Amino acid sequence: MTPESVNIPHLLNDIQVNVRHALAEDVGDGDITAQLIPADRSARARVITREDCVFCGRAWVEEIFQQLDPTVRIHWRVEDGDTVSADSVLFELEGPARSILTGERCALNFVQTLSGTATTAAEYAALAKVEGKADTVKILDTRKTIPGLRSAQKYAVLCGGCHNHRIGLYDAFLIKENHIAAAGGIGNAIAQARQIKPGALVEVEVENLQELGQALDGGAEVIMLDEFSDEETRKALEMAQGRAKIEISGSVDASRLKQLSALSVDYISSGSLTKHLKAIDLSLRLVE
């Protein structure tokens, strides 16, 4: 998978911005420690993962050295989305020693974070598979992302085999409790949404079966069941009968996912994909 192959608005531009900000906060007006190394010294470095993971972050590494020093050459051993075993080489760097060491931390920060996100997504995707069922529920991310890294983490979720919910507040409606109250009810909120941005997906979060009926009558394409019991979810599916896609949200973690996947809903969304990630342990070492 590559950033060019996915439909995430502004991703390519965001990569450049991500890297520019990361270098600015880390390098500032110059890497004073790197100045200990002779300017003409060349080096080769190897980056390995110390734990199993799903790799993600290639474009960010490439952009770091493009902005920092284009003479640094990168020799890749993996692609985004690859499952990698502990102690495997991810990539090698060759070029000016100063540039390699200056860019090291920024490069590893992006890879450890995005690979951590992709690895969590892969774990969730595996848990969602139900034996004997050809069609599995789609696991969706949320907007609970690291500030400034929304599109990057959304991309990492795809690399791990899960799916994107809306990217931001601009590309789909998600009508929740406070919107419903302020708009004068579910029906009114849906009707206003159709006028504000015709053609945009309209999703409504409901807290009980009565609200579910109102959302169905209003013509919502997706209905999110917030904190429904398993029995209430089954009743909701009977009521919907294909009139809308059904999504489960609320208190969804790895321990609960397997049970929820068996309910035959269309989507399960979980903020844990992006906010409960564990960064992958990486190491860069200069080699002869």
Looking at residue 135, its pLDDT comes to 64
Least Cα distance to 245 among 270, 273, 272, 264 occurs for 264
Looking at residue 72, its pLDDT comes to 98
User: Mind listing the pLDDT tens digit of every residue in the chain (288 residues)?
Assistant: 999 999 999 999 999 999 999 999 999 999 999 999 999 999 999 999 999 999 999 999 999 999 999 999 999 999 999 999 999 999 999 999 999 999 999 999 999 999 999 999 999 999 888 665 556 789 999 999 999 999 999 999 999 999 999 999 999 999 999 999 999 999 999 999 999 999 999 999 999 999 999 999 999 999 999 888 889 999 999 999 889 999 998 777 777 777 777 788 899 999 989 998 899 999 999 997
Please state, rounded to an integer, the average pLDDT across all residues of the chain. 93
- How is residue 178 written in tokens? 């406070």
What residues are annotated to the active site?
A: 105, 144, 176, 205, 226
Q: Domains of the chain, with CATH numbers?
A: 3-126+277-287 (3.90.1170.20), 131-275 (3.20.20.70)
- How is residue 266 written in tokens? 């269309």
Looking at residue 177, its pLDDT comes to 93
Looking at residue 136, its pLDDT comes to 74
Looking at residue 250, its pLDDT comes to 73
Give the contacts of 181 (CB within 8 A, at least 6 positions apart): none
**Is residue 265 within 8 Å of 224, Cβ to Cβ?**
no
- How is residue 152 written in tokens? 């990057």
268/4 Cα distance (integer angstroms): 26
30/159 Cα distance (integer angstroms): 34
**Three-state SS across the chain?**
CCHHHCCCCCHHHHHHHHHHHHHHHHHCCCCCCHHHCCCCCEEEEEEEECCCEECCCHHHHHHHHHHHCCCCEEEECCCCCCEECCCCEEEEEEEEHHHHHHHHHHHHHHHHHHHHHHHHHHHHHHHCCCCCCCCCCEEECCCCCCCCCHHHHHHHHHHCCCECCCCCCCCCEEECHHHHHHHCCHHHHHHHHHHHCCCCCEEEEECCHHHHHHHHHHCCCEEEEECCCHHHHHHHHHHHCCCCEEEEECCCCHHHHHHHHCCCCCEEECCHHHHCCCCCCEEEEEEC
